[in-house]
Amino acid sequence: MYQALYRKYRPKNFDDVVGQEVIIKTLTNAIKYDKVSHAYLFTGPRGTGKTSIAKIYAKILNCEHLDGLKPCEQCISCSQINNNQNIDVIEIDAASNNGVDEIREIRNKIGLVPSNSKYKIYIIDEVHMLTNQAFNALLKTLEEPPSHIIFIFATTEPHKIPRTILSRCQRFDFKKISTKQIVDRLKHITEIEKIKITEDALNEIAVLSDGGLRDSIGMLDQAVSYSGEEITLKDIHDINGTVDREEIQLLLKSVFEKNMVTILEKIEQYEEQGKNIVKITQEMIEELKNIILYRNVPNFFEESIEYYENVKDIVNNTQIYHYIHSLSELVGNMKNSSNNKILLEIELIKMVTEKQEEIPDSIQTPVKQTTEENKKNTTKEQEKVKEVVIESPKETKTSSAPKIDFSSTLSKESLEQLETLKKIRIHNSLVSVSQKNRNAFKEKLEDLKELLMNPDYSKLISLLFDGELKVISDKNMIFVYKTNLLAEAFNLELLELEKVFFEKFQEHYRLIAVDEEEWNTIKTEYNKNKNNYSYQEETIDVEKIFESNDGLEKKKNVIDELFENFIEYEDN
C-alpha cells in the first residue's frame, strides 16, 4: 500500500528535524545534564514538528542503548514507538478526547510504573481543546506528578490554555520554517524519490506552505499525482487554485488605474477556472506589502523592479495601507461566506470608486505616529532627564464621535468592577513612572504591526494603534485615546489585548485606556500629589468581568459597529 510522503519522511531523530535548532539544543542538553522536566508545552504553527519532536524526545528518554544522544532504533522501546505500539508512550488527541472523564482516567493510571521503559510519557495533541473541567482535573496531577511521568502538550493556540497550566510547563515556541529550508528538504525528497520538478515549482510550494514543512510535503505528493512526468509551476497553481505573481500584479495595476472592466473580467475568469478566491486575495495583500517595501527598501528586491517602478507613482502609501487593511478584513469575512467572488468584486469596486479623502484616519495614523514618535524618542535619548514629570494638561477639542451604548455589553455589576479595576490600574501605572521604559516599550510595540495583515487580529491591533502609550510602570500601562468611544472599546477588549501581549512579549501586562479629557485630569492630580502614590493590590478577576457569553456577543457587535463607522470618528 502506498505511504504518503509526509509519513514516509517524518523525522526519526533530531538530525532529521528541519528549522528548530534552538529547541533541539535545549532538549538534548536537558537529557545530557539530567534536567528533564515533568511537563512541556510545544506551541507553534501546524506542520513545524511539534508532535514529531515530542515522539523523538520520548524515544531518546526511553531508549535502552542510547548512542550519544541518538536513539538506537533497535531496542524494544524504540521499535514499539516507531510502530505506535509502545504502551508507555501514550498519544492522545484532545480534539476528540477532551472531556474530564478522559483526564480522570489518566490521573487514575499515572501511579502505575512503566511496563518496559524508564518513563511513562503522555503526548497530548491539540491540548487547547480540553474543557475547563478537564484542565482542572489535570492541574493537581501536573503540579505533583510521580517521578516516572512526563507530559508533553502540543498546541497551535496557546492563548486558550489556562495560565495555571502554562505556569507549570516548560514552554517551547516553534517557529515557521524558512522557505530555503523547505526547498532544501523537498529537493532531498525528490532526489530520493526520483521526482522531476522545476526550481520555480519547488519555490512556489515552499511559499504556499507558509512555513509548514508537512504541508509542503503533502503538496508535493499531490503534485506528483497530478502532473505526470515533470512538475511545473503551472501544476502547482492548478492544484492550489492560485495564479502566478505577474497575474496578481496586473490585477492590482488595474485597481490602481481604476480599470473596472478589466478587474471584473479577471475575477470572472478566476471563477470559471476554479481558482481559490481567498488565496488570490491573500496574494494581493502580499504583493501590496512588496510595493511598500520597494518604496522604502528598494535594494531588497532583485527582480520585478520594472513593475514596482511603474506603479510607485500611481498610488501613494496611505492608499496601499488602506487596501491592505480592507483586504485583510475581507479574508476574515470570507471564512463564513458562500460566495467569495461577490465579496471580492464588491471590495475592489469600493477600492476603485472611493476618493482619497474617504480613507479612514485609522489607516493613516500608525505610519504618521511611528515617524513622529521616532523623532521624539531620538531627541529624548540625547537628553539627560533627572526627574520624570508628566506634562501639564493642554486644551483639547471636543470630540464629535457618535455615541454607542457600551452599557448593554456587560451587567451593572461587571461595569462597576471594570470601573474599579480601571482606577486601580491608573493608580498603579503612576507609582513609578519611567520615561525611558515608555520609549523602550514603544519600540517593542512596533512588532505588533505585523499582525495588521492577520484577519484574526487586524481590528484589535488597529484599535491598539489608534491610541498612544502614555505611561508604563512595571507591568502596568495607560493608553490614551482622542475619544471616550475608543477608550471604552479598548477596555472591553482587555482580555484579548493582554493575551496578544503575552503571546508576543512573554510577559503578563496590565492594560487600561482613558480618553484625553480624563487623561488631563489624571495629569493634574498626579503633578499635585506624585509623592502619595503607592502600589495597590489588584484583587478583581478580569476574566469574570467578561465571562458572560451573552455579554461577549454583544461586545462583539458593538466593536463591529465601531469599525463599520470608523470614518465618522474625527475631531473637528
All domains of the chain, ordered by start, with CATH?
5-173 (3.40.50.300), 179-240 (1.10.8.60), 245-358 (1.20.272.10), 401-568 (no CATH)
Mean pLDDT of 492-496: 86
Mean pLDDT of 140-160: 85
Q: Following CA atoms 307, 308, 314, 320 in sequence, which dihedral angle do they give, to the nearest 10 degrees?
A: 130
Higher pLDDT, residue 497 or 533: 497
Question: Given CA atoms 379, 381, 382, 386 in this order, what sign does their dihedral have?
Answer: positive
Mean pLDDT of 518-525: 87
Output phi, psi for 266, to 5 deg: -65, -45
Taking the C-alpha atoms of residue 558 and residue 556, their distance in angstroms, rounded to an integer, is 5
Single-letter amino acid code for the residue at 465 = F
Is there a contact between 149 and 38 (Cβ–Cβ < 8 Å)? yes
Taking the C-alpha atoms of residue 277 and residue 273, their distance in angstroms, rounded to an integer, is 11
Mean pLDDT of 465-481: 88
For cell 499531490, name the residue.
222
Mean pLDDT of 208-215: 85
Mean pLDDT of 485-512: 87
* Distances 185 to 57, 179, 217, 509 between C-alpha atoms, Å: 21, 10, 9, 40
Give the Cβ contact number of residue 548 at 10 Å. Answer: 15
Average pLDDT of the chain, as a whole number: 78
**56 sits in which H/E element:** helix 50-62
Taking the C-alpha atoms of residue 19 and residue 182, their distance in angstroms, rounded to an integer, is 9
- Position 300 pLDDT exceeds 80: no
- Position 380 pLDDT exceeds 60: no
Q: Note the pLDDT tens digit of each residue in 6-24.
A: 888 888 888 888 888 888 8
